[in-house]
Structure 1
Amino acid sequence: MEYRLVDRLPTVEEFVAVTRSVGWADAYDPAAIPASLAASLHAVVAVEGDRVIGLGRLIGDGAIYYYLQDLAVVPERQRRGVGAAILGRLEEWIAGRASARTFVGLFAAGESVALYRRFGYAVHDDMTGMFRVGPRRTS
């Protein structure tokens, strides 16, 4: 398998194809994807031939907070170093901009936890990852 990493946003179609392949089909409002991608700080795609087989992006304020978002590799190309290569390229981009106190966060699930641990990410005893989907409803 030969692929190359390209520092660019995925197209909406590429993003949908990769995220759908990993089971995230219902995770995003399709109408929101273009604006979400456009607001990214940086992104990397892994391209094999003319097909995007993996992607990852960074969101945040570009100064203090960075969040790794949507790191995904199509199932038939997983466990071959593609995800680690994408993560490494994103880490290089952050390193060129980050201060000693920059916070880099992410959400990880399942087997991806091991990949992030290899890059120095850990669960912090005093922090709890939290999230909410959709607007806050008030009664």
Structure 2
Amino acid sequence: MNYIIEERIPSVLEHQVLWEAVGWGNINTEMSRSSLNNSLYGVVATVNEEPVGMGRNVGDGYMFFYIQDVAVRPSMQGLGLGTEILNYLLAYIKKRRIENGIAFVGLFASEGKETFYEKFDFKNHSPHMTGMFNVFDS
């Protein structure tokens, strides 16, 4: 299947459609609108103008980056689209980081998707470093 990858932030509707397609639940579109508007960079893959994949970078744009919302419609998984999306996101980070400086790149992998990210040298650094987070939902 032929897809087109565009370097742009997903629209609120594209984000919602793909978020739900991969089983991440429902999303508050007002909250996602503000989040998307504050993204550093994004890519959207489409087939016949319908979204089939996305990914975006958030962070300070110099030293700390976070890969967010890498999602590929289940019917399109296993075809290399996720790899291509991640390559775009990583290329952006490599261009933005300060010359001869470090770039710390974080992400959370969905359960069962850890090996996909390990192919890009992402590692679980426990027990020496532990990824931690808190969710404020009320």
1:110 deviates by 2.3
Deviation at 1:71, TM superposition (A): 0.4
Identify if the C-alpha distance between structure 1 residues 135 and 110 changes in structure 2 by more than 3 Å, giving closer, same or farther.
closer
Contact 1:16 1:25 in 2 (8 A): no
Partner of 1:102: 103
Which runs of at least 4 in structure 1 moved beyond 4 Å after TM superposition?
A: none
Unaligned runs of 5+ in 2: none
TM-score scaled to structure 2, two decimals? 0.92
Q: What TM-score do you get using the length of structure 1 for normalisation? A: 0.91
> What residue in structure 2 maps to residue 23 of structure 1?
23
3-state SS in 2 of match to 1:96: helix
Tell me the amino acid that sits aligned with residue 127 of structure 1: M
**Partner amino acid for 1:105?**
G
Matched residue, 1:113: 114
Aligned pairs (5 A) from 1:1-139:
1-26=1-26, 28-99=27-98, 100-125=101-126, 126-134=128-136
Give 1:23 shift. 1.0
The count of aligned residue pairs is 135
Contact 2:42-2:54 at 8 Å conserved across structures: yes
Please state how far the C-alpha of 1:135 moved relative to its aligned partner. 6.2
Q: 1:45, 1:52 within 8 Å by CA — same for their partners in 2?
A: yes
The alignment yields a C-alpha RMSD, in angstroms, of: 1.4
